[in-house]
């Protein structure tokens, strides 16, 4: 029998949850607020919360200085492209690990996940030289490839977890009805795992959108996404906090809006199979 939760315990849990939520959200709130200040007001001491002259000058200056929409489109192509390519590769791999298990399956999964523990700077030089020699440097195609390889272990691991929750008998019945391997994956397995695949896609779009290390080191101008757009407002002359905040707000707004509207699907996918 489940233990009843007292009103006092509920109040404490709610207070802790709200406190953590405010602490996590405050940097975003402060960034948005600072973007409407002048540079002098942005560095005022004590800080100004609402009693300042609101202005859109920073947004105008940012758009005049940088082509925001070009960087935005680069981010969309790179994040969505790398995620879709990763899913295309990961679905058959996760299917093989989930439904054709072997003694080394867990070892392979752990090895794949362990590659995420490698510091990216450790392989920067060889990847940079390869990209330079084959003509992929400062191209969206190059970034799609490298971000696919970086996030592929996470995609495979998540899809493997979701596929394991699907009864193997259903796939066996499809085979007995004459389904080919392609039909089994496309028309039986994939529709049943839509919540898990959707949450995997959303999570990896966010990861690719926020990736800064590779986008800053493998691009210059042509394929620069919004991470490079933000970094351009850090100069040797100093930081322009108001303009940097405006650029940051413009960069994070699309992914925040997407996350807000897709949070139900994301939570559903992340909890897929958790309750039987």
Q: What is the CA radius of gyration of the chain?
A: 23
Q: Provide the pLDDT for residue 191.
A: 81
| Within-domain flag for 78 | yes
Residue 195, C-beta contacts closer than 8 angstroms, at least 6 positions apart: 162, 265, 268, 269, 272
Residue 187 lies in a domain: yes
Is the CB of residue 269 less than 8 Å from the CB of residue 69?
no
Whether 16 maps to a domain, the answer reads no
Would you state the structure tokens that stand for residue 273, as one six-digit string? 């199979």
Asked whether residue 259 is domain-assigned, the answer is: no
* Region of poorest pLDDT, from 35-44, 50-59, 167-176, 242-251: 167-176
Question: Which residues on adjacent β-strands are paired with residue 238?
Answer: 235
Domain that holds residue 162: 66-232
Note the pLDDT of residue 100: 75
Under 8 Å between Cβ of 224 and 74? yes
Q: Which of 227-231, 233-237, 258-262 has the lowest mean pLDDT?
A: 233-237
Q: Could you give the percent of the chain with pLDDT greater than 70?
A: 90
Contacts of residue 225, defined as CB under 8 A and 6 or more positions apart, other chains included, come to 71, 74, 75, 78, 79, 143, 209, 215, 219
| CA count, 13 A, side-chain hemisphere, 249 | 21
pLDDT at 87: 93
Overall number of domains in the chain: 1
Position 271 pLDDT exceeds 90: no
Average pLDDT, the chain: 84
Residue 222 clears pLDDT 90, i.e. is over it? no
CATH code of residue 207: 1.10.3720.10
Range scoring the smallest mean pLDDT among 15-19, 180-184, 199-203, 226-230: 180-184
Q: How many Å apart are CA 248 and CA 94, to the nearest integer?
A: 36
With a cut of 90, say whether residue 76 has pLDDT above it: yes
Does 59 reside within a domain?
no
| Cβ(149)–Cβ(187) below 8 Å | no
> Is residue 276 pLDDT above 50, yes or no?
no
pTM: 0.82
- pLDDT the model gives residue 23: 93
Q: Is residue 262 situated within a structural domain?
A: no
Could you say which DSSP state residue 60 is in?
H
- Other beta carbons within 10 angstroms of residue 4's beta carbon come to 6
Return the structure tokens found at 116: 């995420």
With respect to residue 9, please indicate whether it lies within any of the assigned structural domains: no
Reported as a single tens digit per residue, the pLDDT across 160-209 is 888 888 887 887 888 887 878 788 778 888 888 887 888 889 889 988 99
245: which residues sit within 8 A by CB, 6+ positions away?
A: 31, 32, 34, 35, 37, 42, 58
Q: CB count, 10 Å around CB of 157? A: 18
Residue 213 falls inside a structural domain: yes
Cα–Cα distance measured from residue 69 to residue 67, given in angstroms and rounded to the nearest whole number:
6
Least confident of 2-6, 20-24, 197-201: 2-6
The CB-side HSE value for 30 (13 A sphere, CA atoms) comes to: 12
């Amino acid at each position: 029998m489940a233990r009843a939760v007292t009103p006092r315990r509920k109040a404490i849990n709610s207070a802790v949850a709200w406190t953590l939520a405010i602490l996590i959200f405050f940097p975003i709130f402060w960034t948005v607020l600072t973007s409407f200040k002048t540079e002098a007001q942005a560095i005022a001491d004590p800080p100004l919360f609402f009693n300042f002259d609101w202005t859109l000058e920073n947004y105008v200056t940012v758009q005049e200085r940088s082509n925001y929409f070009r960087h935005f489109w680069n981010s969309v192509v790179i994040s969505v492209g790398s995620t879709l390519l990763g899913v295309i590769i990961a679905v058959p791999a996760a299917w093989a690990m989930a439904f054709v298990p072997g003694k080394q399956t867990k070892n392979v999964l752990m090895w794949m996940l362990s590659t995420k523990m490698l510091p990216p700077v450790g392989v920067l030089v060889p990847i940079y030289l390869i990209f330079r020699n084959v003509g992929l440097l400062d191209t969206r195609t190059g970034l799609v490839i490298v971000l696919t390889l970086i996030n592929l272990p996470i995609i495979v691991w998540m899809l493997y977890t979701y596929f394991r929750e699907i009864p193997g008998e259903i796939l066996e019945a499809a085979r007995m009805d004459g389904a080919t391997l392609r039909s089994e994956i496309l028309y039986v397995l994939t529709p049943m795992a839509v919540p898990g695949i959707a949450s995997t896609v959303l999570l990896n779009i966010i990861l690719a959108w926020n990736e800064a290390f590779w986008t800053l080191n493998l691009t210059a101008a042509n394929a620069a996404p919004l991470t490079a757009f933000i970094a351009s407002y850090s100069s040797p002359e100093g930081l322009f906090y108001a303009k940097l905040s405006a650029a940051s707000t413009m960069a994070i707004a699309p992914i925040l809006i997407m996350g807000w509207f897709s949070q139900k699907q994301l939570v559903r996918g992340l909890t897929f199979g958790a309750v039987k």
